[in-house]
Each structure stands twice: as structure tokens, then as C-alpha cells.
Amino acid sequence: MKVFAASPQITIGQPSNVRIGDLGMLISALVGTLLILSAILAFFFLILGGISWITSGGDKAKMEEARNKITHAIVGLIIVGAAWAVMTLVQNFLGFTIIGGTVTLPPAF
């Protein structure tokens, strides 16, 4: 008597809560998420610098450190805003979408 074992077949489907079906949507989601996270992080450092300034107690070194934190946070927010603006300009002038959709290239001439 011969016994043949059936080879198991494993299929893994896409999770129902994930709506990313192509590489363009993945890049778009990553860019948008990174911009949001970096803006939140810069805002957090701005608040942290303000708290450090308030709790410095008049110490010149601590006030200078707090002022540097605030300055760096503001520069970070400006960089994040400029990155978003550049991405938007690239989308508008070159005609392909990076943020908020799939990456679609314009048709060839």
C-alpha cells in the first residue's frame, strides 16, 4: 500500500485594510507619511525648546541651548515646507503625481 502526501499549498493574500496595489501608491504614501512625521517632530522640538527656555531659570548657557533648539526646529519646519513646495511644483510643472496618488508619468512625445 502506497501513501502519497499532498504537498501543502500556502497562499497569502493582500490584507483587506491595505489599499496599496502598486509601487507608485507606495512611494506616494511613504513621501506623505515622512513629510507629516517630520513636521510633527519639528513641532515637538519647538515645544521642547520653549519648555527648556521657560525652565532655564535665567542661566545663560541653558537659555542659549533652548534658543538653539527653537532655531533648529524652525529651520526644520522651513525645510519640510520647502520640500513639500518643491514636490508640488515638480508635480505641476512636469505633469506627474507624487503626493496624493499614484506615480504616473506623462505620455511620451
pLDDT in tens, 50-109: 999 999 888 899 999 999 999 999 998 898 889 888 888 887 787 766 666 555 555 655
| Cell triple for 3 | 501513501
Q: Report the pLDDT value the prediction gives residue 91, as an integer from 0 to 100.
A: 76
CA distance 14 to 24: 17
Q: How confident is the model at residue 2 (pLDDT cuts 50, 70, 90)?
A: low
CA distance 28 to 21: 12
Q: Which of 21, 37, 35 is nearest to 103 (CA)?
A: 21
Please give the model's pTM, rounded to 2 decimal places: 0.61
pLDDT in tens, 12-61: 666 666 665 666 667 777 777 888 898 899 889 999 999 999 998 888 99
With beta carbons less than 8 A apart as the criterion, state whether 53 and 70 touch.
yes
